[in-house]
A and B are shown apart, each in its own frame.
Chain A
Amino acid sequence: MSALSETGTTLLLAAAKKDEGGSFLVTPGLGLMLWTLIAFGVTYYVLSKVAFPKIAEALDKRRKAIDESIDSALKTKAEADQLLEEYRARLKEAREQADDIVARSRKAAEAHQDEAKSSAKQYREELMQSTRKDIENETRRALEEIRKEVAGLTLIATEKVTRKSLDDEDHRRLIEEALSEVDFSALAGDKKNGAPNGSGDS
Chain B
Amino acid sequence: MKERFMALGTGKKVLLVFGLFVVVAVVVNMLVPSEGKNDAFKPETEFKLDPWVTLKLGPLDMSLNKAVLYLFLACALTTMAMLYIAKRMQDRPNRVQTAVEAAYDLARNQITGNNMDDSMALRWFPFIGTIFFFILFSNLIGYVPLPTNTEHTVEVFGIAFPTFAIYAATANLSIPLMLTLMVWFSYHREGIKAKGFVPYFKSWMPAGLEDMPLPARAGIFAIEVISQFVRIISLSVRLFANILAGHLLILFMGGGLVVLLGLAALGVFTLPIAILFFMFEVGLIAGLQAFIFATLTSIYLGAATAEGH
Interface residues of A (CB under 8 A from B): 18, 21-22, 24-37, 39-40, 42-44, 46-48, 50-52, 54-59, 61-62, 65
Contacts and interface: CB of A to CB of B under 8 A. Distances in A.
Contacts of B49: 24, 29, 32
B79 A40 contact: no
Contacts of A30: 60-61, 174
Nearest to B81: A51
Nearest to A54: B86
Contacts of B60: 30-31, 34
Interface of B: 42, 44, 47-49, 55, 60-63, 65, 67-68, 71-72, 74-75, 78-79, 82-83, 85-87, 89, 91, 100-101, 104-105, 108, 125-127, 129-130, 133-134, 169, 172-175, 177-179, 181-182, 244
B86 A51 contact: yes
B68 A43 contact: no
A21 B39 CA distance: 13
Nearest to B100: A55
Given A48-B130, A51-B86, A55-B82, A27 B71 contact: no
Contacts of B91: 61-62, 65
Nearest to A46: B79
A42 B79 CA distance: 9
A65 to B, nearest CB: 7
A43 B82 CA distance: 10
Nearest to B108: A56
Given A25-B173, A36-B178, 20 more contacts: A31-B63, A32-B67, A33-B181, A35-B68, A36-B179, A37-B178, A37-B182, A39-B75, A40-B75, A43-B75, A43-B130, A46-B79, A46-B82, A47-B79, A52-B126, A52-B129, A54-B86, A55-B101, A55-B104, A59-B105
22 contacts: A24-B48, A25-B44, A25-B47, A25-B172, A28-B177, A31-B61, A31-B62, A32-B67, A32-B174, A32-B178, A34-B60, A35-B71, A40-B179, A43-B78, A48-B127, A48-B130, A52-B86, A52-B104, A55-B89, A56-B108, A59-B89, A65-B91
B173 A47 contact: no
A34 B58 CA distance: 14
A32 B72 CA distance: 12
Contacts of A39: 71-72, 74-75, 134
B1 to A, nearest CB: 48
Contacts of B44: 18, 21-22, 25
A47 B129 CA distance: 9
Contacts of A27: 173
Contact of B178 (A33, A47, A59): A33
Given A32-B174, A35-B71, A52-B129, A47 B78 contact: yes
A5 B63 CA distance: 44
Nearest to B44: A22
Contacts of B125: 52
Nearest to B138: A39
Given A46-B83, A47-B126, A52-B129, A59 B101 contact: yes
A154 B60 CA distance: 183
Given A22-B44, A54-B87, A55-B104, A40 B130 contact: yes
B89 A44 contact: no
Contacts of B61: 29-31
Contacts of A56: 108
Nearest to A25: B47
B86 A33 contact: no
A58 B44 CA distance: 46
A62 B91 CA distance: 6
Contact of A36 (B55, B83, B174, B244): B174
A28 to B, nearest CB: 4
Contacts of B105: 59
A50 B83 contact: yes
Contacts of B82: 46-47, 51-52, 55
Contact of B126 (A22, A48, A54, A62): A48
A91 to B, nearest CB: 41
Nearest to B73: A39
B226 to A, nearest CB: 20
